[in-house]
């Protein structure tokens, strides 16, 4: 375990090689079966509502129908998530050929929105425990191609998710994490 400030970082975060390979996994993280989508913080509900008019043009009709019927979010304060279509795909997914992609992120990269996507999605496959004081890597068999690519390209998980870690915990925190990991590996 590595401790940076008040955050405990499981060694799986620094010890795992990981780099997404969308051409192989097809965006599986956005279409996991299970009924609930990505966890959302209470503060992110406003961002979802603000960004929705900008992204609805990208969404399939079936996804828009689910949103119209059930709303933009699932759950209640302290336990929000994105809704899913048929218990699998996040309602905010669009398909680029056979690859599931995030409509929020598409609007962000097209500079139509300043919000990239839910933090839980951005950090994936890193999970933050509910108290926000501990992070760890969570294994998903659908992400095997990312583990293989991470090994072949020699990309550590904490490097792959550097931008979202900085978004979540700040520049100084992320710098300190990298320095600590580099020191331990020397």
What pLDDT does residue 130 have?
60
**Domain end (from 117, 145, 164):** 117
One domain, residues 134 and 95: no
Q: What average pLDDT does the chain have?
A: 91
CA atoms within 13 A on the CB side of 91: 24
Q: Which domain does 164 fall in, by range?
A: 1-18+125-186
Give kind and range of the element (H or E) at residue 8.
strand 7-9
Task: Output the DSSP codes for 82-140.
Answer: --EETTTEETTEEEETTEEEEHHHHHHHTTS-S--S-HHHHHTTEEE-TTSSEEEE---
In this predicted model, what pLDDT tens digit does every residue of 116-174 receive, in sequence order? 999 999 999 999 886 778 999 999 989 999 999 999 999 999 999 999 999 999 999 99
pLDDT band for position 186 (cuts 50, 70, 90): low
Tokens of 21: 């390979």
CB neighbour list of residue 185: distance below 8 Å, 6 or more residues apart: 14
Phi and psi based region of residue 106 (left: phi greater than 0; alpha: psi -120 to 50; beta: remaining): alpha
35 pLDDT band, cuts 50/70/90, is confident
**Residues 75 and 50 both lie in one domain:** yes
Of 4-8, 30-34, 112-116, highest mean pLDDT: 112-116
Q: Is the pLDDT of residue 106 over 90?
A: yes
Asked if 102 and 155 sit in the same domain, the reply is no
- 107 vs 128, more confident: 107
* % of residues, the chain, pLDDT over 70: 98
Q: pTM for this structure?
A: 0.88
Same domain, 31 and 112: yes
Say whether both 4 and 65 belong to one domain. no
The contacts found for 114-119 with CB under 8 angstroms, 24 or more apart, are: 115/47, 115/50, 115/51, 116/167, 118/38, 118/39, 118/40, 118/44, 118/48, 118/82, 119/41, 119/44, 119/164, 119/167, 119/168
95 and 48 within one domain: yes
pLDDT tens for each residue of 79-102: 899 999 988 999 999 999 999 999
3 & 60 share domain: no
- The answer on 136 and 98 residing in a single domain is no
Looking at the structure, do residues 154 and 130 belong to the same domain, yes or no?
yes
Q: Which of 68, 101, 117 is the last residue of a domain?
A: 117
Q: How confident is the model at residue 108 (pLDDT cuts 50, 70, 90)?
A: very high
If asked whether residues 11 and 36 sit together in one domain, one would say: no
Token pair in block for residue 145:
């191609």
Last residue of a domain, one of 73, 93, 117: 117
Q: What is the mean pLDDT of residues 47-52?
A: 96
The rounded distance, in Å, linking the Cα atoms of 39 and 53 is 21
Domain count, the chain: 2
């Amino acid at each position: 375990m590595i401790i940076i400030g008040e955050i405990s970082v499981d060694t799986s975060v620094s010890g795992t090689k990981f780099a997404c390979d969308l051409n192989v996994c097809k965006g599986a993280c956005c279409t996991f079966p299970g009924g609930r989508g990505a966890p959302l913080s209470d503060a992110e509900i406003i961002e979802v509502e603000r960004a929705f008019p900008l992204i609805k043009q990208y969404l399939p009709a079936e996804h828009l129908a689910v949103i119209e019927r059930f709303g933009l979010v699932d759950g209640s304060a302290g336990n929000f998530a994105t809704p899913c279509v048929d218990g699998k795909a996040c309602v905010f997914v669009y398909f680029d050929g056979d690859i599931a992609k995030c409509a929020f992120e598409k609007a962000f990269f097209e500079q139509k929105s300043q919000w990239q996507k839910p933090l839980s999605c951005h950090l994936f496959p890193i999970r933050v425990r509910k108290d926000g004081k501990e992070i760890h890597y969570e294994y998903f068999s659908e992400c095997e191609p990312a583990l293989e690519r991470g090994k072949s390209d020699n990309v550590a998980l904490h490097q792959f998710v550097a931008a979202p870690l900085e978004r979540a915990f700040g520049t100084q925190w992320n710098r300190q994490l990298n320095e600590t990991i580099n020191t331990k590996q020397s």
